[in-house]
Amino acid sequence: MFVGRSMVRNMGIASELGYMTIPAGTVVDLKDAVEMPDDRVVFMSTGSQGEPMAVLSRMANQEHQIEVGTGDTVILASSLIPGNENAVYRVINGLIALGANVVHKGSAKVHVSGHAAAGELLYCYNIVKPKNVFPIHGEVRHLHANVALAIETGVPVQNTLIPENGTVVDLKDGRMNIAGQHDIGFVYVDGSSVGEITDADLKDRRILAEEGFISIFVAIDPRTGAVVVGPEIHARGFAEDESVFDDVKPQIVKALAEAATSGTNDAGQFQQVVRRVVGRWVNTQHRRRPMIVPIVIEA
């Protein structure tokens, strides 16, 4: 029984092209499989890298109609991709907690890499005898090693290329040349907005989520820097009792007066003064770095 859209699609293609022979009656529908005795069914599913929406993750979270329990064996026939450790171990822990016996590469020889080894690449290059070579997927060290193998089989050095992401390569008359460069990067989707969110926006959201938000409102006499109204300080996600800011309010009043004496007469500059005073106080007293939004108006 194949489970997961990509698994079903790929196995179907492999069968149609003759790469995999499946005896008639071997593959059953999911609705039939869940009714069969446990020892009569093998499920091949997606999710070996801990993808949160993949079938295996949903099984581990008890969010799928296939139920995993005591006596079941789950084989992760895959290599752990660096960076996926937490997600994969979360799935493994979930499956074990449900009573399953989990077998993976760390405990048994259940996986062979799908990536060609050096000898296989040499074999491929010697058969194909390419005029030009430029590997396009993998870490930099792997790309350079790949090119070195191509050169070893007779590909001229000048006919090899390791392009950066976004590079436009023009293949013409048996030669390849760099024809341009496209801007690349993440495109963020935020509700119905596509591409309008920037890295700066995400940084602000992380600060708000992790450190909180402090706003300071002050009305001043721009000539003297004297505070006419405030400082009024409000916070979200920082402290429930806003009386904690009583200590910093006199510092704000003093700093504004000193700034005016030094020649500051612009609301934007006064706002920077307030931001520095509050930021320094928060860091010293609370070891936090919240988003600080000062609002200074001239009365």
* Residue recorded with tokens 């030669």: 175
21 torsion bin: left (phi>0), alpha (psi -120 to 50), beta (else): beta
CATH of 197-298, one of 3.90.550.10, 3.40.50.970, 3.40.50.300, 3.10.20.580: 3.10.20.580
What ranges do the domains of the chain cover?
2-104, 118-181, 197-298
Contact call for residues 183 and 166 (beta carbons, < 8 A): yes
Beta strand 227-236 with 189-190: parallel, antiparallel or unpaired?
A: unpaired
Q: How far is CA 191 from the centre of its chain?
A: 18
Residue 113 has pLDDT above 80, yes or no: no
Structure tokens at 112: 């062979």
Nearest to 48 by CA among 7, 11, 13, 8: 7
- The pLDDT value recorded for residue 256 is 81
- The pLDDT value recorded for residue 146 is 93
Whole-number Å distance between alpha carbons of 84 and 67:
24
User: Which residues, in sequence order, are CB contacts of 266 under 8 Å at separation 6+?
Assistant: none
3: confidence class by pLDDT, cuts 50, 70, 90 = confident
Other Cβ atoms closer than 10 A to 181: 12
DSSP assignments along 2-16, one per residue: EESHHHHHHHHHHHH
Provide the residue count of the chain: 299
- The pLDDT value recorded for residue 191 is 79
156: confidence class by pLDDT, cuts 50, 70, 90 = very high
Amino acid letter at 260? A
- The pLDDT value recorded for residue 154 is 92
Nearest to 280 by CA among 298, 292, 265, 269: 292
- The pLDDT value recorded for residue 153 is 94
- The pLDDT value recorded for residue 93 is 93
At the fourth CATH level, which superfamily is domain 2-104?
Metallo-hydrolase/oxidoreductase (3.40.50.10710)
User: Which residues, in sequence order, are CB contacts of 227 under 8 Å at separation 6+?
Assistant: 218, 219, 220, 252, 253, 256
- The pLDDT value recorded for residue 141 is 92
- The pLDDT value recorded for residue 160 is 92
pLDDT digits (tens, 9 = 90+) for 11-52: 889 888 988 888 888 888 888 887 888 888 888 888 888 888
What average pLDDT does this structure show over 190-214? 82
Amino acid letter at 37? P
Contact call for residues 219 and 230 (beta carbons, < 8 A): yes
The pTM (predicted TM-score) of the whole model is: 0.52
- The pLDDT value recorded for residue 94 is 93
Shared fold status for 2-104 and 197-298: no
Residue 89 has pLDDT above 80, yes or no: yes
For the chain, percent of residues with pLDDT exceeding 70? 99
pLDDT digits (tens, 9 = 90+) for 186-195: 888 877 777 7
Task: Tell me the C-alpha to C-alpha distance, in Å, between residue 135 and each of 70, 130, 155.
Answer: 46, 12, 13
Task: Tell me the C-alpha to C-alpha distance, in Å, between residue 201 and each of 183, 236, 294.
Answer: 20, 18, 18
Whole-number Å distance between alpha carbons of 195 and 224:
45
Whole-number Å distance between alpha carbons of 108 and 143:
30
251: confidence class by pLDDT, cuts 50, 70, 90 = confident
Residue 266 has pLDDT above 90, yes or no: no
- The pLDDT value recorded for residue 100 is 92
- The pLDDT value recorded for residue 236 is 83
Cα dihedral 197/198/200/203 (nearest 10):
60
- The pLDDT value recorded for residue 241 is 73
Residue 85 has pLDDT above 90, yes or no: no
